[in-house]
Amino acid sequence: MTKTLKTVSALCVLAVVAVSLTGCGTMTPELMSGTQAAGDMHYKWSRVMDNSSRTAWNDFERLFFLDQNSQANPFVSP
């Protein structure tokens, strides 16, 4: 490799490392504290559990073909 290509590669790696260490820059005031209120944590946990359970049931339905009509019955299943 040429010296210029090595220099550019090193600068790119350095820039990626610098950006990954600093994050998005300045933080908004609501993100300045490192803790969350109990209500916020409960709401987040509830939302995550709801999403996870709906995803699991959707996967279960697809796994056992419950989301499709049966080919043996010409009528739509409720």
From first to last of the 78 residues of the chain, give the pLDDT tens digit: 688 888 888 888 888 777 766 665 566 666 656 666 778 888 888 999 999 999 999 998 888 877 776 677 667 666
Domain ranges of the chain: 40-67
CA distance 62 to 30: 40
Q: Are 61 and 67 in contact (CB under 8 A)?
A: yes
Determine the 3-state secondary structure of 63 from DSSP: helix
